[in-house]
Every structure is written in structure tokens, then in C-alpha cells.
Structure 1
Amino acid sequence: MFNKSTLEFGIDSDWSKVNQVINEKINYINSFEYNLSTKWQLKWNKKTQLSLKYRHSGYQVNSIEKSQSSEDTFSINFDSRFLKNIIFKTDFTTHFVKDFSENFQNYTLQNFI
């Protein structure tokens, strides 16, 4: 019934240090960004596949004040080919964001092709 199923994990991180001079005053800024992700892909046959994805991103800035933000993203993608050259694609993605001001937002993107 199923041809192939794959599971992927990913970890990315970036760290930077900046010394900024404004009006002869030195500001030290350290920032750290990280991403954790996982993806499960299921191929029913050569023409149809389904993917589920999750990604957590975090960003932290240390300067005069310490601030941070984060985002969680959930995605579902479905692709199918039928009648020789007709391709149906859809994806549904929901984002949950906590910004630097500790405000929470969420939004959803949907695409049909």
C-alpha cells in the first residue's frame, strides 16, 4: 500500500557578537538563534505523497536588556498527480509566534495549486 516513508530531524544554530559604537559609547550585543525541525514524508505511490512538518525557532538577544522570541510552525503538504499531467498540490501551515514584547500571535497560510 505504501511505497516509502521517511523521517528527518534537523538542528541549526547561529551565534553572533557585535560591538556597536554610538556617540562614543560601546554597546555589546550577543545574539543566539536556533532551529529544531522534524519532517515525516509518506509516499503512497509514485504519484502521491503526504508530508507533516514541525519547526521550533528561537532567537535571543543580550545587550543592555535581554530579550527573546520564538515561533512554532506546523505544516501539512499533499501532492498528487493524476490524468497524466494534472498535478494537485496543497499545503496548510500554522505559525504560533511569541515576539520580543512577549505578545502572542498566530496565523495560518493555505495554498492550493
Structure 2
Amino acid sequence: MTAGSSSRPVPASESAVPAEAPAKTRDTASTGYQAALAAVRPKAATAVDTLVAAAIDRQTRTAAREPETVHANAIDALAALHAGQELSRSEEVHQAALQRKHGGDRPVRTAFDIA
């Protein structure tokens, strides 16, 4: 051991302690943090006037809707245009999916059909 040095611990009052920085709180946090925090917090329920809610419901129920068969003639004309062409496997699958989606009477092939 050298003169002037000791192995005893230095008390906290004698050590060089940096001045404490102000504590970060949610109020002093960055705007990005505050925006992220606001995005995950539950929103306060907004009250909708009963008359407004009834009007929205009535308008939704009576909204004009096109019938399912509105474009049937265009689809038939397109099918007649491509009647003799050979389809790729992906196009066959796509056509089968469309047929099934629109309730076609032709059964849809599955991966394990043998017949």
C-alpha cells in the first residue's frame, strides 16, 4: 500500500455524486411517447344522440344495393369470348373459386377427387 491510500470504502458523502437529473414523467416525456401512450389507452365512450343513431340505422338499411345479377350479361359475354381457350391451372382454380363464390351449380373440384 502506498502512503495516502487506504482500502476502506469511501462514504457516499465524500464520493463525487453527480447532481440528480429531473425525473422523467409521462408529462415531460417526448411527444412520440405521449402519442404512443394515447394510442393504446382506451378511448372515452362518445355518446350518440338516439335520433342520430336511428337515422344512421335507417339509412344503412335502406341504402341502394345492386342486385347480384346486375353484371351477369357481361360475365356471360366474357365467357363466350374465351370459350375455346385453354386455361392455365391457376386460372382454372380462380374460375372455380368464382363459381363457388357466386353459387354456381357446377361442383367444385377438390384436391383428392378421384372420380
TM-score range with shorter-chain normalisation? under 0.3
> In proportion to residue count, which structure has more strand?
1
Q: Specify the structure having the higher radius of gyration (Cα).
A: 2
TM-score (norm. length: structure 1): 0.16
TM-score (norm. length: structure 2): 0.16
> In proportion to residue count, which structure has more helix?
2
